[in-house]
Structure 1
Amino acid sequence: MDISFTNNSEDLTRHTENDDLMVGMKAVRVWGTLGWHDIRQRYRRSVLGPFWFTLSTIIMVFVLGALYSTLLHQEISDYLPYLAVGLVVWAYLASVANEGCMAFIGSAYLIKQIRLPLTVHVCRIAWRNFVILLHSLPVIVVLLLIFGHWPGWEVVLVPFALLILLLHGVWLGVTLGVLCARFRDIPPIVTNLIQVVFFFTPVMWSPEILKDRSWVAEYNPLYHLIETVRAPLTGRPTHWESWAWSVGLLIVGFVFSQFLMKRFRNRVPYWL
């Protein structure tokens, strides 16, 4: 695999903890190639390749949809697309969080041998999981067509929502990568926390069923991240609060990840 370590005539080895995030994110050719290589290696000699994730999503949606639409007294024609988008976006967030914990630990051999922005290793993870997410979007489109749902003009917001989702994966991976490189007890904590948070996040259920306790969803930032993608796709009303939460969390996340980079970037190789 031939990768040039230059991007836009800028030497990637010339960076500091102050610009690691920016230089790393600009190295699209490097982390894009590495991420695509990871996908090819993971599904090497597989007939369906990354579409195995799409197939598993289809099975999960129809099994859970048939069960929970009955338990929650929801129309299956409305519930299946709602559930499909929720599961796909949640799978991306959960994968980025879990793999982000091991972003620097798993790339220790590269970090110790080649001076690259640490953010490159995180973008690699976020990108490969984002590509897998894109493979599952046809499932949602098919479900919408089967049940006669046609998205309105709000569908033009989907590319922006997906871009924001990708960027969330970057700051989350950087933050967890630095913390987990220093404290090795954090990865299992994150794994268990994700399982718990899943049930408190409106992925399989809608906030409306909580009635006067809907604040559980309204103050859950993960719900708003999912909703910025789900609402435009399923033709549901798009609330500005969800976009405000999503963009606001993105800004706070990058500020915090930049703080960690400036403070601890040079210590990460020693922690590995």
Structure 2
Amino acid sequence: MQHTSAVDRPAVPLAPDSRTFARAFGDVRDAWRQRELWGHLGWQDIKQRYRRSVIGPLWITISMGTTALALGLLYSQLLGQELGTYLPYITVGFIVWNFILGVITEGTEVFIVNEGLIKHLPSPVTVHVLRMVWRQVLFFAHNLVVYLIVLAVFFPTLSEPYKMEGDITAQPGLSWAVLLAVPGFVLVVANAVWVALLFGIVSTRFRDIPPVIHSFIQLVFFMTPIVWPVGLLNKFTHGEGSWKVLIAEFNPIYHFLEIVRAPLIGHAQSWHHWAVAGAFTVVGWGLALVALRNYRARVSYWV
């Protein structure tokens, strides 16, 4: 019987290191290829939520319309704004904010609530993030019905140049620039994916993160120009250069809000909103890919 020494034996091939950016990019790429899976699951989430409802997902539209109308009527009087220009402003602000809010709050628990699927369905972890973001996109589409109704009512006002209380210059009014809202929303969705990936991974490891974010998200709402126009800061501080204007400028959500809201209501859109949003996109995706590279394989053990 011939014996082989340890030197003569063929080396056992080692498994490739899972902590590589190639694996991280591969997870995102494979998840996109499975869009039929997460697209179907996103639809089923909405159907399941309104399974025994008579009007189904229209409740999303009704809830948004009621909230926007009530707060629009109230704050237009408190802030001294014309209803014809202020109600579209607050309506679109709420629609975009609800999308951002849903992504942040549900993103922190995106892996925790999908524990069963993660442990029993061999698929990229990014699939669960895309499913959640797709569901929020569908909610956003339902809420756009409210915008179309408000636009139909106040189109005569918004179609001409107008000025909101506190604005230094008049807004140009609705034009073909409204189409800029499409790439703006695409950029918001791209950021929604990395936010859910990053927050989801961190929150799965540290379970204190979701309640902390849920506690502070209301503060972020009041610090973001959603129910109050930025122009009021100029009015109350006697000039655009006042340091108090930085309350809005240092808020990243404000810039993502503006690249969608401004063209939809005929506001003048500044290039710096796109610059800030683009910078956050690059930095955010970099952080998300680092987290995905280092901890993608551990998610199934943490949930």
Q: Structure 2 length as normaliser, TM-score?
A: 0.82
Query: Are residues 1:94 and 2:96 paired?
Result: no
1:145 CA displacement: 2.0
Instruction: Give deviations 1:31-90, integer Å, cap 9, x for gaps.
Output: 111111101111112122222111011111111011111111111111000000111111
What does 1:215-226 correspond to in 2, within 5 Å? Answer: 215-226=246-257
What is the distance in 1 between the residues matched to 2:91 and 2:175? 18
- Matched residue type, 1:19: G
Using the alignment, how far apart are the partners of 1:17 and 1:62 within structure 2?
Answer: 44
Unmatched runs of 5 consecutive residues or more in structure 2 = 1-21, 160-173, 235-241
In the TM superposition, residue 26 of structure 1 has moved relative to its aligned partner by 3.5
Structure 1 residue 59 corresponds to structure 2 residue 90: no
Cα separation, 2, equivalents of 1:109 and 1:179: 19
1:40 counterpart (29, 43, 47) = 47
CA contact (8 A) 1:17 1:266 kept: no
Does the 8 Å contact 1:101/1:177 carry over to 2? yes
Give the letter aligned to residue 266 of structure 2.
Answer: G
Partner of 1:178: 201
Tell me which of 284, 287, 290 is aligned to 1:253.
284
The answer as to 2:81 corresponding to 1:74 is yes
Larger Rg, first or second structure (1 or 2): 2
Displacement after TM superposition at 1:18 (Å): 4.4
Aligned pair count reads 258
Equivalents in 2 of 1:48, 1:166: separation in Å? 27
The answer to whether the aligner puts 1:235 opposite 2:258 as a matched pair is no
| Paired letter, 1:40 | K
Q: Which residue of 2 aligns with 1:188?
A: 211
C-alpha contact 1:89 1:133 (8 A) present in aligned 2? yes
**How far apart in 2 are the matches of 1:154 and 1:232?**
6
Aligned residue for 2:148? 141
1-side partners of 2:224 and 2:105: how far apart?
A: 17
2:182 to 159, 177, 186: 159
**Structure-2 residue corresponding to 1:8:** none
Unaligned runs of 5+ in 1: 1-14
- Name the SS of the counterpart of 1:48 in structure 2: coil
| Equivalent residue letter for 1:36 | W
Matches of 2:138 and 2:25, distance apart in 1:
29
Q: 2-side partners of 1:141 and 1:234: how far apart? A: 11
What code does the residue aligned with 1:255 have? G
1:111 alignment partner AA: I
Structure 1 match to 2:133:
126
Q: CA RMSD in A?
A: 1.3
Provide the rounded CA distance (Å) in 2 between the counterparts of 1:25 and 1:170. 12
